[in-house]
Amino acid sequence: AFKSATRIANVGVSKILAIGARAAALKREGRPVIILGAGEPDFDTPDNVKEAAKAAIDRGETKYTALDGSPDLKKAVAEKFQRENGVDYALDEITVSTGAKQILFNAFMATIDPGDEVIIPTPYWTSYSDIVEVCGGVPVLVPCEADAGFRLKAEQLQNAITPKTRWLLLNSPSNPSGAAYSASDYRPLIEILVRHPHVWLMVDDMYEHIVYDDFEFVTPVALEPKLKARTLTINGVSKAYAMTGWRIGYAGGPKALIKAMAVIQSQATSCPSSVSQAASVEALNGPQVFLRERRESFKGRRDLVVSALNEIDGIQCRVPEGAFYTFAGCGGLIGRVTPDGKRIESDTDFTDYLLETADVAVVPGSAFGLSPFFRISYATSEAELREAMRRIAAACANLR
Ligand code: PLP
């Protein structure tokens, strides 16, 4: 019989994908399911980016590239960090991988020994803890509640640090909460980190360009240059440029770490796709105006969803600073009973109820390590969002 390796014993295929599969199956049966579970923009990749990819193919850029990124793309990334974040990374302090996910994977594979701890505030993108576990590390999950803006507090960080702590992993704006750290949110955490030189910082800035209401995005190394020698600043083109399928992520960090990550990449994928790298050069160097238009469009949808949710008795939703998710509390619905006589005991019961009776697919907070909540991805049309909100309100009103 098949036996998997111990390193994946506690790791499953993501719950998010499982819900997506169930929703897709219902849709195939002819049910009018609205899926609010997707972690990708509904916009198309910009035309100039597509053209750059076609031109690269025609120029014959269809072979292996340099191991951890073509010189052109590394240069574009260095310029991006300089222009948008005010941080200087040399070309040998930059790495490019097959998605930000591979960046995370390379970094943990290259640095984690069995038993090493990684502090991860919850709610968190599930892959964080799964990747840490695959690499033999111990995720140290620290719950960050809605009334704290889903943000880690300095004393929580202080209490979570042990001699075995290798990394603190922060994600701003966050998937799933949409919460983001301003400079003043970061400062107390940075103070703690400065006092604990054995703790390295990994920041996932993936949703940098999707922020609202004059929120000023900042990355920690720009605030405290002392951290630069032990920080990995992760970013990518997937969410900002609607390029999830192209699979390009990148990061800046100290040279020794970048080199160690290249060792892992060399034995896994050899290099990221040449065509996707050429497209990403254009994404980073080309016109950026459409980012503002898309941001405005996301903001309208955010406002629609948040206000509709807050009108429902039993649901509470804070206004997220960024990304395209809301993480709403459904604690007020726990204990209520469905028309079929089933008691809602958890956020998973609630999201199952929404899918089965209201044809709306959302993801329970338990998938992100914090309950009772549910995540809505509002990267879909306003018409669909309005209909989904109507159905959720009706389903909630049917609970007794
Ligand atoms: N980081 C966060 C917070 C994400 O939500 C995602 C995708 O869902 C990723 C990283 C992965 O992005 P990529 O498509 O570059 O692998």
User: With a 6 A CB cut-off, is 175 part of the ligand 1 pocket?
Assistant: yes
User: With a 6 A CB cut-off, is 35 part of the ligand 1 pocket?
Assistant: no
Q: Are 215 and 74 part of one and the same domain?
A: yes
* 10 pLDDT higher than 90: no
Amino acid sitting at position 59: R
Position 82 scores a pLDDT of 98
* Ligand 1: centre distance to CA 171 (Å): 10
User: With a 6 A CB cut-off, is 204 part of the ligand 1 pocket?
Assistant: yes
Position 155 scores a pLDDT of 98
* Ligand 1: centre distance to CA 397 (Å): 35
Please report which confidence band the pLDDT of residue 247 belongs to, taking 50, 70 and 90 as the band edges: very high
Q: What is the DSSP letter of 149?
A: T
Q: d(Cα 339, Cα 128) in Å, to the nearest integer?
A: 38
* 292 pLDDT higher than 90: yes
Position 113 scores a pLDDT of 97
Q: d(Cα 390, Cα 393) in Å, to the nearest integer?
A: 5
Q: Are 281 and 360 part of one and the same domain?
A: no
Q: Are 280 and 376 part of one and the same domain?
A: no
Q: Are 72 and 133 part of one and the same domain?
A: yes
For the entire predicted model, the pTM comes to 0.96
Answer yes or no: is 1 within a domain: no
Q: Are 15 and 124 part of one and the same domain?
A: no
Please report, for the chain, how many H helices and E strands are present, in that order. 13, 12
Q: Are 92 and 114 part of one and the same domain?
A: yes
Q: Are 384 and 304 part of one and the same domain?
A: yes
* Ligand 1: centre distance to CA 208 (Å): 12
Answer yes or no: is 53 within a domain: no
**Angle, vertex CA 170, rays to CA 168 and CA 173, nearest 5:** 175
Q: Are 91 and 214 part of one and the same domain?
A: yes
Mutate to test the pocket of ligand 1, among 40, 120, 125, 243 (most ligand atoms within 8 A of CB): 125
- Alpha-helical runs (H) found in 164-288: 183-195, 220-223, 255-268, 274-285
Q: Which atom of ligand 1 lies nearest, measured to the CA of 100?
A: 15
Helix (H) or strand (E) holding 327: strand 325-329
- Residue the block writes with tokens 């390590």: 369
Answer yes or no: is 51 within a domain: no
Q: d(Cα 71, Cα 395) in Å, to the nearest integer?
A: 54
* 14 pLDDT higher than 80: no
Last residue of one domain, picked from the residues 248, 267, 285: 285
User: With a 6 A CB cut-off, is 104 part of the ligand 1 pocket?
Assistant: no
Q: Are 135 and 178 part of one and the same domain?
A: yes
Answer yes or no: is 40 within a domain: yes
Q: d(Cα 248, Cα 246) in Å, to the nearest integer?
A: 6
Residue bearing the CA closest to ligand 1, atom 4? 175
Contact 170, 232 (CB under 8 A): no
* Ligand 1: centre distance to CA 206 (Å): 6
Q: Which atom of ligand 1 lies nearest, measured to the CA of 236?
A: 15
Last residue of one domain, picked from the residues 240, 266, 285: 285
- Residue the block writes with tokens 């800046």: 252
Q: Are 99 and 202 part of one and the same domain?
A: yes
Q: Are 240 and 326 part of one and the same domain?
A: no
The count of domains in the chain is 2
* Ligand 1: centre distance to CA 309 (Å): 26
Q: Which CATH number do you get for residue 343?
A: 3.90.1150.10
Q: Which atom of ligand 1 lies nearest, measured to the CA of 101?
A: 16
Quote the ipTM score. Answer: 0.99
Last residue of one domain, picked from the residues 250, 265, 285: 285
Q: Are 117 and 216 part of one and the same domain?
A: yes
Query: For the chain, what is the mean pLDDT?
Result: 96
Residue 351, φ and ψ in degrees, nearest 5: -70, -30
Q: Which range of residues forms the domain containing residue 155?
A: 61-285
* Ligand 1: centre distance to CA 332 (Å): 31
Residue 231, φ and ψ in degrees, nearest 5: -125, 140
DSSP E strands: which ranges in the chain? 34-35, 94-97, 117-122, 138-143, 165-171, 200-204, 231-236, 249-252, 325-329, 360-361, 363-364, 373-377
Answer yes or no: is 197 within a domain: yes
- Residue the block writes with tokens 């892959």: 127
Q: Which atom of ligand 1 lies nearest, measured to the CA of 104?
A: 10
User: With a 6 A CB cut-off, is 375 part of the ligand 1 pocket?
Assistant: no
Residues with Cβ < 8 Å from 305, sequence gap 6 or more? 317, 326, 376, 378, 385, 389
User: With a 6 A CB cut-off, is 99 part of the ligand 1 pocket?
Assistant: yes
Calculate helix-pair angle for 47-58, 274-285, nearest 10 degrees: 140
pLDDT tens digits along 329-371: 999 999 999 999 999 999 999 999 999 999 999 999 999 999 9
Portion of the chain with pLDDT greater than 70, in percent: 100
